[in-house]
Amino acid sequence: MGELVDVVVVGGGAAGLMACLELPAGLRVLLLSKERAPRSASRWAQGGIAAVTRPEDSFASHIADTLKAGADLCDRAAVELLVRQAPACVERLLQLGMDFDRQDGGLSTTLEAAHSHRRVLHAQDRTGGALVDALEREVLRRPGLERRLDAVALQLWMEEGRCCGLQVLEQGRVHWIGARAVVLASGGGGHLFANTTNPAQASGDGVAMAWRAGAAIRDLEFVQFHPTALMLPGAPHFLISEAVRGEGARLVEPDGSSPVAQLAGGDLAPRDAVSRALVRRMRELRLSHVGLDLRPVGRARLEQQFPTILGRCRELGLEPLEGPIPVAPAAHYWMGGIRTDLAAATSLSGLYAVGEVASTGVHGANRLASNSLMECLVFARQLRQIELGAPPRTVSPQPRTEPDGANPAAVLTSPDPEELQRRIQQLRQRCWQVAGVERLAAPLADGLRRIRRERCAMEATPALQRVLASPPEVELSLNEAAQRWLSAAQELSQRLAVAELLLESALFRQESRGGHYRVDAPAAQPFWQRHSLQQRGRRISTEPIGAG
């Protein structure tokens, strides 16, 4: 038989792992990760998981905080689902052995930006890593589940408007996997920007695949820029969790004054406001960074609560107990994504999306801190009611292997993989320059024209076309050079598609709201209180709140 499973889950972070746990029992599930070792943005998450667990807190308060942070663009039904399901998800994690911080015999909670109560649960400052570890232990015990690493999803398999599998590059071969449903849990696209807290695989490829297949994409202009990423030349932009500011850390300029003193909420104002304030002060003072002084938190609390941050700083030659550390804004989280409903279903039959790749309506124009890991868990639980379709009709009993002369390896031309990687880095710089913290119409329009031309040219590359046009009954065998080329070419092609969607939506929304700030339209406008909507072959448009 050609390969056929019940459900393919793409992505090995918190969303993908939780999806595997929550899918109905008895199914054959295939979990694909494009990394050689399990590594995801979830693992990097230092912040916590938001849930109402204290008697002085309430669902109403958590809902109100989320709606306020979302700048009037949240879908209330999605927010209510998240908030009301969150405590049950915490219980589920405790059953799975999640090691949350505790205090006085109960769960310890912290305060983060724009929360009105202490409701954020932590596992020191590596909550994401602890969560993924707990989920992974359980996932690997699930009967009927197979996990494959170093498997690159190339495109979705569509038959008569229904998603029924996908094309994959793995172990030197390009082949098709049939499925009764596909769940995209491939993460966000923060690595589209030169300055980002995200790992390299956060390139938006799930959004690109879904868009190419015809799915509705929503609100891609809303990117959350985290104000405090470590800024050392040559070092990754390691995130410094705002939980340290919740415990007393302070942003400082070289003379010791505060760059956020004018903001309501100061150091704990919403992330978008803090990021804009820092970018402006850095521009005025001609600085590449400002300082974050951790010393007000106190040595004992820092050592106990933030050992990962302290350890990472010390590895890089910084001593946070002696003076401020260098920080600046960086792309952190994408509020937009593939439009989904309350069942995590996309606009395409047979295709589901969970986690940062999805636009559930929870985050609106600006995510409330620590709602994202919980969103992964809550919407993965909705997959208990997944609707499975029939398997694809064109699954071949035995895939036919193409002879070498018909393989992409035989028609490989320039650019070589190194050149493709240089173009990826240039694209990242362009996205940061024109679609970063502050945006302006003319650079967005110029960037959009250039990126659209480059995407069309890349998609016309003969070797890439040859792979993507390969029918389901054909398997391509690639040598090592061809695999390297295809991986790089596909990554650039996907990144160009997502960058085009990003710039188009940022140019389209002529107002400022949440994570989207237009210098030439600095106020929010009532008539823009709608989602942006993009589908291949259609003009960008809007839809009302709650319509997804």
**482 pLDDT exceeds 80?**
yes
User: Does the pLDDT of residue 79 top 50, yes or no?
Assistant: yes
Tokens of 368: 């409330």
Strand-pair partners of 163: 158
Looking at residue 235, its pLDDT comes to: 84
**131/122 Cα distance (integer angstroms):** 10
Q: What is the pTM of this model?
A: 0.93
Tell me how far apart the alpha carbons of residues 519 and 514 are, in angstroms, rounded to a whole number: 13
- How does pLDDT run across 123-147, given as a tens digit for each residue? 887 787 888 888 999 999 999 999 9
Confidence of residue 104 (pLDDT cuts 50, 70, 90): confident
Taking the alpha carbons of 376, 332, 72, 444 in that order, is the dihedral positive or negative? negative
How far, in Å, CA of 28 to CA of 165, rounded?
13
314 in catalytic set:
no
Token digits for 203? 């390139």
Segment 328-346, tens digit of pLDDT: 999 999 999 999 999 999 9
Per residue in 110-131, is it b (16+ CB within 10 Å) or e — as a string? bbbbbbebbbbbbbbbbbbbbb
**Among 39, 271, 367, 513, which one carries the catalytic annotation?**
271
Tens digits of per-residue pLDDT, 2-17?
Answer: 699 999 999 999 999 9
Contact assessment for residue 188 and residue 357, using Cβ atoms and an 8 Å cutoff: yes
Q: Would you tell me how many other CB atoms lie within 10 Å of the CB of residue 56?
A: 9
Taking only the tens place, the pLDDT of each residue in 180-236 is: 999 999 999 999 999 999 988 999 999 999 999 999 999 999 999 999 999 998 888
If you average pLDDT over every residue of the chain, what do you get?
92
Residue 231 vs residues 130, 195, 289: alpha-carbon distances, Å: 25, 9, 7
Mean pLDDT of the region 298-313: 93
List the structure tokens of 392.
Answer: 């694809």
| Residue pLDDT, tens place only, 53-70 | 999 999 999 999 999 999
Output b/e per residue, 179-217; b: 16+ Cβ within 10 A. Answer: bbbbbbbbbbbbbbbbbbbbbebbbbbbbbbbbbbbbbb
Give the pLDDT confidence score for residue 190 in this predicted structure: 96
Q: Which of 8, 275, 305, 14 is nearest to 147 (CA)?
A: 8
pLDDT of 260 higher than 60: yes
* DSSP states of 136-183: HHHHTT-TTEEEESS-EEEEEEEETTEEEEEEEEETTEEEEEEEEEEE
Looking at residue 62, its amino acid is H
Sign, CA dihedral 330-331-335-336, equals positive
Q: What is the pLDDT of residue 1?
A: 39
